[in-house]
Amino acid sequence: SHPDTANKQDHADFVKISEAYNVLSKDRTRSAYDAERMEATVRNIHVRYPYEV
């Protein structure tokens, strides 16, 4: 939706998507993200990320 007519949830969703894109679109941050996820999987722990998967 257009920013002038969007509600607060639309804005929050946009921020989450933007953060995910910023992490996943760069090789360095994507590698770090993947490594953290793999480590959590290997150790069978649940990591809370500031972004959703």
Q: pLDDT, tens digit, for every residue of 5-35? A: 878 888 889 999 999 999 999 999 999 999 9
Question: Scanning the structure block, which residue is given the tokens 């910023």?
Answer: 22
Q: Could you give the count of Cα atoms lying within 13 Å of 46 in the half-sphere of its Cβ? A: 2
What whole-number distance in Å separates Cα of residue 46 and Cα of residue 15? 23
Q: How many CB atoms lie within 10 A of CB 51?
A: 15
Instruction: Look up the pTM and report it.
Output: 0.63
Residue (of 47, 20, 17, 11) closest to 1 by Cα position:
11
Residue (of 9, 22, 10) closest to 51 by Cα position:
22
Residue 43 banded pLDDT, cuts 50, 70, 90: confident
